Amino acid sequence: MFLDERSASLLKLLQHSSIPSMNEMEQQTGLTRRQIQYSLNKVNDWLESNDYAPVQYKRDLGYFLSDKIADASITVKLTKRSYIFSEKDREQVIYLMILLSQETLSVFHFQSATGVSRNTVLNDLQRLKEQAQEMGLTIRYSKQSGYIITGNSRIKRFVIEQLLHEVLNGSNSQMITQCIWSEFDERITAIHDQLENMEQQLGIIFTDERLYELAYLFFSTDQLIGKGEELDQDPSWLPFAETKEYVLIDAMIGTAAFQSTWSQTEKLYATLHLVSMNRTKDRSPLKDDQVFRELLQRVTEEFERLTFVHLQDKDQLFEQLYVHFKPAFYRIKYRFPHVNPMMERVSKIYPELHHLTRKSLRILENELGFQLPEDEAAYFTIYFGGWLQRQGTRLDDRKKAIVVCPHGIGVSNILNYTLRELFPTILFLDVLSVRDTAEYPLDYDLVFSSVFLNTDATLFVVPPILEERDKQRLNKQVMQELYGYTVPDSDVAGLMELISKHATIHDPKQLEKELHATLYVQAGTPTHAVKEAEKPVLAELLTTQTLQLKQQATTWQEAIQLASSPLVELGTVKEEYVTAMVESIEKNGPYVVITPLVAIPHARPEEGVLSLSMSLLKLDKAVDFAPDKPVQLIIVLAAADSDSHLRALIQLTSLLNEPANIQRMLEATDKEQLLEIIQTYSKEETE
């Protein structure tokens, strides 16, 4: 009974977990429903012929194997005699045989290994010749030597490294390794064991995949040396002859697992692979490697600058980046290629994050003198993305903008910097020329341009150098566009000039700051309620009547209902306002989660606000507004108009900008403790 590649892959998929539905099976395999049905029939035939029950289906479980077949059982049954190699499998087997085998190889050897006809092997060989030629290698045949491959030894090593990575991380790895190395299992296992001993002596832990790759790579190197395929000397490798890794490699080569005589160059080749392989742990302290530390700090600071995000617990982040970057540094420096299987997925799913990470890595590229490969850059994207997710920050929630300026790099950079400072919540992706804009690959919501453009995005035309009045005007436009209200005008520069004519200003910067704060919260027209006309401070809105401490809420909808209940009881909002807040989140997503563990739900004044009010609910147990957005502090904002709530909102923002304040509020056990924190930020003049 034979299994083709598709059926074997489906069997392995079912071996490890049930699949809920046919739709899910289509998504996981990439096959059509008809192809899956055909493969399931093949799998069932194979299972029954080997005394296993066929694939089962139940509505509550989906498709599954009732026998719970162990990995070892499948491995024994699924030998190459009952397995049909795919075209790619055959190419890998034949390529590795030609590169590594010391036998005189003929078409018969390839037929015997793959179980296919002579014509199929000849077609495979023709494709391989074309692939080899693209790499600068030549596959040729003679009666005396059989099939051989000629060309640069370093290129051959590169091809072997790539083949090993593909084979050992592929779904059919056991079948292929059995064809090439079945008689050498004991020696390869011995090398694997020695590498594990090296891990202990070096204080590192390799990823499982990389450890297996090293074992097979070192054995393959021994095979190549036995064939006379040795590398030319490379003077840049010589400093590694003084390392502990080289000493351990030298000792390993002397064991029974190796049968060839290795030159210093070959030992250095193995040493470089040892230091450049990915690892999950590295006990060597970061402080001992000041150069790496400074580089990682500079890259991280640049990432923070570009994203306007503060990364928390950066020392821990440096440690994780170090574990990855140390081997990556050697891979990049010595041009040892490395494949990141997640690269395409990362750049596709997180394009903006990857783009800004790529820009941050220019610091490394300038230091190294060449561009980082995309595979390596994707790893940094994964680390930064994981850290943002860990602290509850998401870049894709923010509006994305480009800056268009045809006035040269100097003016463009000034404009870009000014806009970043003015709008820290907007994610600025790039500064572009007008021509570059037409072909820009990333999506964006806003365009800040010094010239008029035809664009589907929201366009703000700005002067290339912004004066204070320009900033105020632009700020109003952006606030109106994004949030539906504007900040009152304040001519602080004019006031400063006027004051200086009649008084001596001892601290201009502090005066300017306080004028900004005072005018920001006091300017505007009176509204229909006395308290609103005075723009109440935070403590006047969050009182014992509007504060609640509860253990938990079942859902985020229930949490909003609970948080709003004091305002409904006081008569400042209608029930319709609560419904409007819930519907807004259901429609637009959890945009109200403005910082980790804190949400400020709100709706439009006309949707049920009777007078300006605010309430706060603290939960002992977080409720999820989304799978990655847990919330414990829910602050309901009911604004009666566009500006009466601004003073309190500014004070609330100042309070929440300090993570320590959020922590203190979460630790509060009664209303008095919460009020004490709120009172600190409820002064008549916002600091």
Q: Which two tokens stand for residue 589?
A: 């997503």
- Phi, psi values for residue 630, rounded to 5°: -75, 145
Q: Which two tokens stand for residue 24?
A: 């899910």
With the C-alpha atoms ordered 324, 330, 336, 337, is the resulting torsion angle positive or negative? positive
**For this structure, is 602 an active site residue?**
yes
Distance CA 548, CA 566 (A): 9
Q: Are 399 and 457 in contact (CB under 8 A)?
A: no
Q: Which two tokens stand for residue 483?
A: 């949030």
Give the active site residue among 324, 338, 354, 602: 602
Q: Are 258 and 223 in contact (CB under 8 A)?
A: no
Within 8 A by CB and 6+ apart from 479, the residues are: 485, 486, 487
Stated as kind and residue range, the H or E segment containing 404 is strand 400-404
Within 8 A by CB and 6+ apart from 272, the residues are: 237, 240, 330, 334, 336
CA proximity to 598, closest of 630, 567, 627: 630
Q: Which two tokens stand for residue 84?
A: 């049909």
DSSP 8-state secondary structure symbol assigned to residue 609? B
C-alpha distance from residue 588 to each of 574, 584, 591, 624, 636 (Å)? 22, 6, 7, 16, 17
DSSP string, 274-330: HHHS-EEEE-S-GGG-HHHHHHHHHHHHHHHHHHT-PPSSHHHHHHHHHHHHHHHHH
Residue showing tokens 């706060």: 616
Within 8 A by CB and 6+ apart from 336, the residues are: 161, 272, 273, 276, 330
Distance CA 86, CA 100 (A): 21
Q: Are 480 and 435 in contact (CB under 8 A)?
A: no
Q: Are 483 and 434 in contact (CB under 8 A)?
A: no
Within 8 A by CB and 6+ apart from 471, the residues are: 418, 422
CA proximity to 482, closest of 412, 542, 561, 399: 399
Amino acid identity of residue 252, one-letter, is M
Distance CA 291, CA 294 (A): 5
DSSP 8-state secondary structure symbol assigned to residue 60? T
CA proximity to 449, closest of 415, 403, 401: 403
With the C-alpha atoms ordered 223, 227, 232, 238, is the resulting torsion angle positive or negative? positive
- Phi, psi values for residue 446, rounded to 5°: -130, 150
DSSP 8-state secondary structure symbol assigned to residue 623? E
Stated as kind and residue range, the H or E segment containing 526 is none
The CA-based angle 26-30-36, given to 5 degrees, is: 55
Distance CA 516, CA 430 (A): 30
Residue showing tokens 């990575």: 165
Amino acid identity of residue 621, one-letter, is K
- Which of the residues are catalytic? 602
